[in-house]
Amino acid sequence: MSRIEVIGDATLYLGDCRDVLPTLGKVDAVITSPPYDNLRDYGKTFEGLDCLPIIEMLAALLTEGGVLMWNVADATVNGSETGTSFRHALHAMSCGLNLHDTMIYTKQKVSFPESNRYFSGFEYMFIFSRGRPKTFNPIKDRRNKWSGTVMHGTDRQKDGSTAQIHGKGKVIEPNGMRFNYWPMSNNQPDTGHPAPMPFQMAYDHTNSWNNAGELILDPFLGSGTTGIAAASLGRSFIGIEREPAYFDIACRRIEEAYRQPRMFAPEP
C-alpha cells in the first residue's frame, strides 16, 4: 500500500489487492468486475491477473450471509470462448461459497461480432454467497402484463402431477420483481478508465444485497463506480486500485458523489 484516502465513509487503498486484502477485516458484500481474460489494457504495469487466488481471499472475507457479485465474461480466442467465467464460478464454489444466482447483464449493443457464431451481447453477474444471503431487497420495476387480475394456474411437480400455484387468488400487482437478466446500457461516460462498470449495475446490486450502514468492498476499484453507488445509498465502502491514474480518478469521482449525491442517482 502506497497511499490511503478516506472520503466520507469510503476508505480507498492505492495498492495491489493481493497485498491489501489480507490486512482487512470482514465485509458484508463484494461488488466488483475483475480484469478478466486481459480484454483491456489497464496501464503500463498490468501484466495480466490470475483471479482464482483473489476469489479465495474474498470468500474468506465475507461475513455469514455475505454476497459476492462477480461480473465476468470470456475472451474469444481462435474464434471460440475461453470458459474463464465458468472456471471462476466453479472455483468460488470450491472455496465454500454458494452459486446463489447466475445473473445476466444484457447489453444494448454487441462489442465483438463474429462471422461464425451468434453475436455476443451479455456478461455474467454471478451472485456467490456465504450460506444463505442475509439480505435481499428485490427491485420491483417489471411491469406486470396481467396487473389487476387474479393469480391462477398449476405447477408441474417432480412426479409429473400438477398442483395449484402458490398465491392462487392473489391480485397481481402493477409492478413485479425483476427477472435475473438485466438490460443495461453499455454506453458508459468517459471516465478515463478503459472498462468502467455500468453505474446501474453497481447501484442495483448494492441495493439488492446490502443494507444501509453495511460494508461493501471492491478490490478492483477502477474509476470508482461501486464507491459512488455505496455513497449514494449510504453504505460504508472499501476500494482497492493499483494504478495511480485510475486511483486519482476514483478519488475525485467518489468525492463528487459525497458532495452532490443526487448527481449519481439513477433515473426512476
CB distance 125 to 71 below 8 Å: yes
C-alpha cell at 122: 451479455
Backbone phi, then psi, for 2, in 5-degree steps?
-105, -10
- Report residue 15 CA to chain centroid gap: 21
pLDDT 10s digits, 210-261: 999 899 999 999 999 999 999 999 999 999 999 999 999 999 999 999 988 6
- Report residue 248 CA to chain centroid gap: 22
pLDDT 10s digits, 101-135: 999 999 887 766 667 888 888 999 999 999 999 99
pLDDT 10s digits, 44-98: 666 668 999 999 999 999 999 999 999 999 888 887 889 999 999 999 999 999 9
Q: Residues with Cβ < 8 Å from 239, sequence gap 6 or more?
A: 10, 11, 12, 13, 217, 218, 221, 224, 226, 227, 250, 254
Are β-strands 27-32 and 215-218 bridged in parallel, bridged antiparallel, or unpaired? parallel
- How far are the Cα atoms of 13, 20, 149, 198 from residue 1, in angstroms, in the given order? 7, 7, 58, 27
Backbone phi, then psi, for 13, in 5-degree steps?
-110, 125
CB atoms inside a 10 Å sphere around CB 234 = 13
| Domain annotation for the chain: domains and CATH numbers | 3-139+178-264 (3.40.50.150), 141-177 (no CATH)
229 by Cβ neighbours in 10 Å (0-12 / 13-18 / 19+) ranks as buried
pLDDT of 262 higher than 70: no
Of all helices (H) and strands (E), which one includes residue 250?
helix 244-259
Partnered with residue 93 across adjacent β-strands are none
Global pTM value: 0.88
CA 27, CA 213: separation in Å to the nearest integer? Answer: 12
CA 99, CA 92: separation in Å to the nearest integer? Answer: 8
- Using DSSP, state whether 77 is helix, strand or coil: strand
CB atoms inside a 10 Å sphere around CB 127 = 22
- How far are the Cα atoms of 52, 154, 157, 159 from residue 162, in angstroms, in the given order? 43, 6, 6, 9
C-alpha cell at 263: 448527481
Q: What is the DSSP letter of 150?
A: B
Lowest mean pLDDT among 59-68, 172-181, 193-202, 231-240: 193-202
